[in-house]
Structure 1
Amino acid sequence: MTTKKTYLPQLGDSLFLTDGGLETTLIFHEGVELPHFAAFILLKDDAGRATLRRYYERYLEIAAAQGLGFVLEAPTWRASPDWAARLGLAPGELELFNRDAIRLLLDLRETWRSRVPRMVVSGCIGPRGDGYDPGETMTADEACAYHAGQAAAFAAAGANMIGAITMTNIPEAMGVVRAADAVGLPVAISFTVETDGRLPTGQTLAEAILTVDAVTGDAPAYYMLNCAHPTHFAGALETGESWVRRIAGLRANASKRSHQELNDAPDLDDGDPAELGREHAALLRRHGQIRVLGGCCGTDHRHVEAMSRACVAVPA
């Protein structure tokens, strides 16, 4: 496989931001209805597209103010066949949504180029199942076949890379890597971890990263961690082992609650943005290879701004 060899600017010494919890922000803060957490359906009309543009522009303002790069992650976490079927979409419609999502980001990049010159457009692939629960695990071949159409749509529309967000198990991560490789796009694999720093399958981060790298020939451009608070995974990174150096990005939750507690809660726990920023700065001081910072459940532009302010002076 060759995906890892493609240059991505966020793998240099500069800090890059990305967005926060898109779906939780739109649902809880803006009152937008997103059936099955499918933000990509907003692309169907001008009003929805305007909502998405405003969402991304809040973060681009932060990157511009801090002089940082930005990874524009497409609103396509749910834009895969099983979720599309639940939404009543035909395969052809799904492909158009995935392409249109990348076009929206390319247009944003062009509009903001003078203020945020270092931007990367990433097609977001989410899990076939739930982002908290692996459910019935596919084989790597099945996962590749399942995610191939979305990867192809991103490549055709001009994405720079693929971001596989909330991967809960090793075989699906391997399948996404193969799908990305087939269309010639670099891929970042972001694993969901529980309060013990392990994947929902019970496997350790070390096992997940080392296995995917071994099977794919180190094909992922880098790895990320998501959907957990820094206190849940910080200890797992203190081994000093080589696999930790492969983690170049974080998309943490605002809340310290477990996934089950978040599922059961009637409210949105948005935590303490300033504290979250300080915790990220502490992580960067120990792990200088981490260069991409964003958020997951419960986070919004306040959290990412706090991260950027706390981390901008931390040396790589």
Structure 2
Amino acid sequence: MQLALADGGIETDLIFHHDQTLPEFSAFVLLDDDAGRAALRRYYVPYLQLASEAALPLVLETPTWRASEDWLRLLGRPAQDVIRVNTDAVRFVDEVRREIAPDADVTVSGCVGPRADGDPGPGAMTPDEARDYHGPQIDALAAAGVGRVAALTISYVAEAIGIVLAGRDAGVPTVLSFTVETTGELPDGTALGEGIRQVDVATAQAADSFMVNCAHPDHITRALSTGGDWTRRISGVRANASTRSHAEMDQAVDLDEGDPSAFAEALLGLRAQLPSMHVLGGCCGTDVRHIAAIARAAGA
């Protein structure tokens, strides 16, 4: 299966390298004015240029990880803005794609994020609640014409099930990406393989595939130590540059970018344990340098 690149850690890149303020880590707020759109464009263009030069497919996530109802309300916006914001984001990314790399193999992926960060504890939703909560955003992304929906940094099974069911309802290919802690387990202690198994059982394998994101390759390796057929359901990884835990990153005042070449080698090293992995990208601390290093290390 041909390697495909994904973009990097959009929020950390915008904050630390583009001098942008993102309230509640919300990149979609930059769509509000010309200056913000220019910053987003500066983020996306190098990835499109890299994919064209390397002749590799590219998966570009929309800046909508926080563009669901609760986060909109937290930012003082009406819940009905879900449709407008997500539609605008898809159109923006597609416009940049058509301008910069009209002939490249680019998938505009509608990015969905968790309702709450980390382990929600007593606030965890049931699958039906998650389906109802995420449904409006996924419907908006699907109607705007994304090639797929990707739910990134999901931390527990019930929310994952609801997202996959909402994607099925909307008739859009849905990729579910769990995050893991330094132990290789989901934040609530569930083993990654068990989480994937539970989602597949509850949804009759409705997810197009699974991914892992917001974890360093070393942490993901721990999650894969048990092996099993479930590893074949993982199509990609968007890894952190840093080996820090989520708690450590939340408290950090600096950006741990790691070494792009070492990052790329570690990420490509996961292929031995993930036979279906072909989409490789970054998460926190990564930028186009890390993705270019992946392309180089893969011989592109």
| Structure 2 length-normalised TM | 0.96
Q: Is 1:255 the counterpart of 2:242 in the alignment?
A: yes
Q: How much does 1:114 deviate?
A: 4.1
Deviation track 1:146-193 (CA, whole Å, cap 9, x = no partner) reads 011101111111111100000000000011111111110010000010
Q: Distance in 1 between matches of 2:120 and 2:108?
A: 27
1:293-312 correspondence runs (5 A): 293-312=280-299
CA contact (8 A) 2:18 2:39 kept: no
Instruction: Verify the 8 A CA contact 2:155 2:186 in the aligned structure 1.
Output: yes
Structure 2 equivalent of residue 3 of structure 1: none
Deviations 1:91-126 (A, max 9, x none): 23232011000111221232244452x111111110
Whether 1:185 aligns to 2:172 is yes
Q: Which runs of 4+ in 1 moved over 6 A?
A: none
Match of 2:74 in 1: 86
Counterpart residue number, 2:146: 159
The answer to which of 166-175 and 38-47 deviates more is 38-47
1:198 aligned onto 2:185? yes
Shift of 1:287: 2.8
Q: What aligned pairs does 1:67-216 form with structure 2 within 5 A after superposition?
A: 67-116=55-104, 118-130=105-117, 132-135=118-121, 136-216=123-203
Q: How far, CA to CA, are the matches of 1:287 and 1:140 in structure 2?
A: 27
In the superposition, relative to structure 1, how do residues 114 and 95 fare at CA in structure 2: closer, same or farther (>3 Å)? closer
- Deviation per CA, 1:16-60, whole angstroms, max 9, x where unpaired? 111111111111122101100110011111221121111011111
Structure 1, unmatched stretches of 5+, are 1-12
What per-residue deviation string (whole Å, max 9, x for no partner) do you get for residues 50-108 of structure 1? 21111011111211121100111110000011110011111232320110001112212
> Quick one: percent identity of the two aligned structures?
50
Q: Is the Cα contact below 8 Å between 1:133 and 1:200 reproduced in 2?
A: yes
For residue 50 of structure 1, what is the amino acid of its counterpart?
A: A
SS at match of 2:80: helix
Paired AA for residue 120 in structure 2? P
Identify if the C-alpha distance between structure 1 residues 86 and 240 changes in structure 2 by more than 3 Å, giving closer, same or farther.
Answer: closer
Q: CA deviation at 1:265?
A: 1.5
Secondary structure of the structure 2 residue equivalent to 1:91: coil
Distance 1:21 1:269 in 2: 12
Supply the distance in 1 between the matched residues of 2:102 and 2:19 (Cα, whole angstroms).
32
Greater displacement, 237-246 / 121-130: 237-246
Partners of 1:18 and 1:180 lie apart in 2 by 21
Task: Write the letter of the residue equivalent to 2:201.
Answer: A
Do residues 20 (structure 1) and 5 (structure 2) align?
Answer: no
Equivalent residues, number:
299
Mark the runs of 5 or more structure 2 residues left unpaired by the alignment.
Answer: none
* Aligned partners of 1:15 and 1:312 also within 8 Å: no
| Residue correspondence of structure 1 range 254-293 to structure 2 within 5 A | 254-293=241-280
Counterpart amino acid of residue 61 in structure 2: E
